Structure 1
Amino acid sequence: MELADGEERHGQQGSGDPVRAEGDRVPPHGDAERDRQRAAREKAEGDRPCQGVVAPARTALAQQRRGERPRDQGGGQRREQRGEHETRIGPCPPQPSVQLLVPVRQSCANDPRLAWSTMTGTSHSRRLLVSTGPLAMSPLNWTFDAIADAGFDGAELLLAHNPESRDPEKVLAYAQEAGLDIPVVHGPYMVLLRTVMGSNYIEKTRRSLAVSAEIGARIMVAHAPFRWERGARGWVLSEVNDVAAGTGVTFAMENLFPVAGRNFSSVVTPEQLQAFPNVVFDTSHFGVSGIDLFQAWDALSERVAHLHVSDNFGNGKDSHAPIGSGILPLERFLARVGASDWSGTITLELDCRAYLDTRDSLVAFLARERVKAATLLAGGELDPPLAATPDPVH
């Protein structure tokens, strides 16, 4: 479906020219004040969903990796997984300081993932991931390295325009080298990816499930067919789960949102999601739809296979904003999820355009958001509390 110039695009990835990351500019340190300033700009200008970033040239990337040898000579940031901890092998930038980036009142500030495990006993099943979607135009190995250096041990992979994201052999090699695994894959259902892996919904889904299985993912995130795609709508209700079962991958339907007040997607509300045994619960999308997170969780928690967590600015557009920078009650919502017996994976799906000037800036931003999410899931509080965050100012 072609969209007219200026029309809002349907999907997380946004429209417009790619944002370029210029390694020679050093941004200010990421902090709550920066998030508030960014929120003000977005509200004033009208936010655009997160889009891909064109990474610096490979020579610049090599310099940013701080002495790392080229991968074809056995270099890279290799990690050996050992239980809940990891041992870094080879050169690696130091981890950002948790205390500096996110002051936290509880002892989980030192390692929120360990505190979460202690408090809930379910850290193995409730894993925090980060989406590759906002970096879909960057080299995949660069993206995986940045994610790992932000403290994540897994990622949600978007099957995108770049062929390497759809090449299981390369995905697995890059992931192993970075010390990541890929438990969740997102199919190419956004409007910007409408021709990736075929334009026919059924064929696109079959191929996405097959690639997900080769990568070893447990879950494949899907968007519903458009309302007018009657044949595909019938297929996802009657046949897709059998197809997915044959691959060993769970087909999980994500809630979408109205665009300019119109529901193009056939699945927006909790009632529509209840037609599917496995769903992906996206907080920003429910925010756009004006649907209460707690009511949606009550209706869907038994079906939720995977969570997409981000904030929303409340202007009717899909923000995927940093935690605490928007209007959603994420502090209370994540505390409730963390205190429940729900077990599943959680992806931070974030607009990162304000942090793409350098690799270090991106890593620090992702690390800070990881700490925020893990702390709130563990029942902790951020300082200052998110509920007391003042309105952004210009």
Structure 2
Amino acid sequence: MANPPEPSAVPAVPAVRIPDAKVALSTASVYPESTATAFEIAARLGYDGVEVMVWTDPVSQDVEALRRLSDHHGVPILAVHAPCLLITQRVWSTDPWVKLQRAQAAAEKLGASTVVVHPPFRWQRGYARDFVTGIWRMAEETDVRFAVENMYPWRYKDREMLAYAPEWDVTKDDYRHFTVDLSHTATARTDAMAMIDRMGDRLGHVHLADGKGSAKDEHLVPGRGTQPCAELLERLAATGFDGHVVVEVNTRRAMSSAEREADLAEALAFTRLHLASAPASPTGVRGA
């Protein structure tokens, strides 16, 4: 009796590598709803935590209120975004260094590992002059990361204004940690992956959003613009990134709370899908 044919060899499927990075929801992503609503949505959708945008919502400025929200919903606060926006010029003082000191203190009390900070506006001359050395000095006094975020030139029609100093492209200055924001790379019309290459192992924090190169800072749901959101996440997975990936999108045009939540669920699914990497095969082809 003939022996049965040998079963065809089944190629080994490489294991998927998922980095230690946590996926957080920026509280700014639920605007015009409240900071408290962001915690509710983050818990319901399964985000790993939140980044608190400190702004005009009084709850965002109140450390004890934030702690209660975190405990109630079981959602950790992973990062604090210092009040650097035009609309927050009077939040937590008009002195930008005091703002950063308070952001650091809040992060330490809340167990957040990162403070996100923008480079100064050009008209903040004294602050801008001392910003790089000042950030280094503060970073050396705490375990909290001060991750300086890339910005963009302001444009109106054919005119361009450099609104940030020392640079909107923060890789031109020396910082211990960076935040990359892919909506900002779109607005700046700069190569996001080249910027990430320049940041190297100092990339400590990611604001994940998309954009199409408009003069406006769009903060689209990832996958709806032209930025390399998937490529960036796959790069992070392949290199074992251990910072935070924060979904920071604009849902102001959502027609209902349900539509807003659907956008945030889509952004989370996109992030989880691409924040995984099959190790390259001996031929150099991922997943081959």
TM-score greater than 0.5 by the shorter chain: yes
Q: CA RMSD in A?
A: 1.9
CA–CA separation in structure 1 for the residues paired with 2:217 and 2:23: 21
Matches within 5 A, 1:142-291: 142-260=37-155, 261-266=160-165, 267-272=167-172, 274-291=173-190
Q: 1:325 aligns with which of 217, 224, 236?
A: 224
Whole-Å separation in 1 of the counterparts to 2:171 and 2:69:
39
> Per-residue deviation at 1:331?
2.5
Alpha-carbon offset, residue 270 of structure 1: 5.0
Give 2:197's match in structure 1, choosing from 295, 298, 309.
298
Correspondence list, 1:10-25, <5 A: none
Name the CA distance, whole Å, in 1 between partners of 2:263 and 2:31.
17
Q: Per the alignment, in what secondary structure is the counterpart of residue 119 of structure 1?
A: coil
Residues 147, 198 of structure 1: alpha-carbon distance in 2 compared, 3 angstrom cutoff: same
Give the match's secondary structure for 1:227.
coil
Question: SS of 2:69's equivalent?
Answer: helix
Q: Is the 8 A contact 1:129 1:347 kept in 2?
A: yes
Amino acid at match of 2:230: E
Long gaps (5+) in structure 2: 1-14, 279-288
Structure of higher CA gyration radius: 2
Q: What secondary structure does 1:220 align onto?
A: strand
Q: Partner letter of residue 119 of structure 1?
A: V
5 Å-filtered alignment, 1:310-321, equals 310-321=209-220
Aligned amino acid, residue 200 of structure 1: D
Return the letter of the residue paired with 1:353: R
Q: Distance in 2 between matches of 1:170 and 1:301?
A: 36
Query: Which residue in 2 is equivalent to 1:367?
Result: 265
- Residue 363 of structure 1 aligns with an amino acid whose one-letter code is E
SS at match of 1:156: strand
The answer for unaligned runs of 5 or more in structure 1 is 1-117, 381-394
Q: By how many angstroms is 1:292 displaced?
A: 0.6
User: One-letter code of the match for 1:224?
Assistant: P
- Report the count of equivalent residues: 259
What pairs with 1:14-93 in structure 2 (closer than 5 Å)? Answer: none
CA contact (8 A) 1:136 1:158 kept: no
Residue deviations 1:232-259 (CA, integer Å, cap 9, x gap)? 1233222333334434322111011111
Show the counterpart of 2:4. Answer: none
Q: 1:309 aligns with which of 200, 204, 208?
A: 208
- Indicate the residue corresponding to 1:20 in structure 2: none
Q: What is the CA-CA distance between 1:132 and the residue it aligns to? A: 0.3
Instruction: Give TM-score scaled by structure 1 length.
Output: 0.62
* Distance in 2, Cα, partners of 1:363 & 1:131: 13
Give the 3 Å change call, closer, same or farther, for CA 323–137 of structure 1 in structure 2: closer
Does the aligned pair in 1 maintain the 2:179–2:207 contact within 8 Å? yes
Tell me, in whole angstroms, the C-alpha distance in 2 between the residues paired with 1:308 and 1:215: 20
If asked which structure has higher relative contact order (CA below 8 Å, sep 6+), I would say 1
CA shift digits 1:100-139 (9 cap, x unpaired): xxxxxxxxxxxxxxxxxx62242xx311111101335534
Report the residue type matching 1:321 in the other structure: L
Aligned-residue identity in percent:
25
Residue 355 (structure 1) aligns with: 254
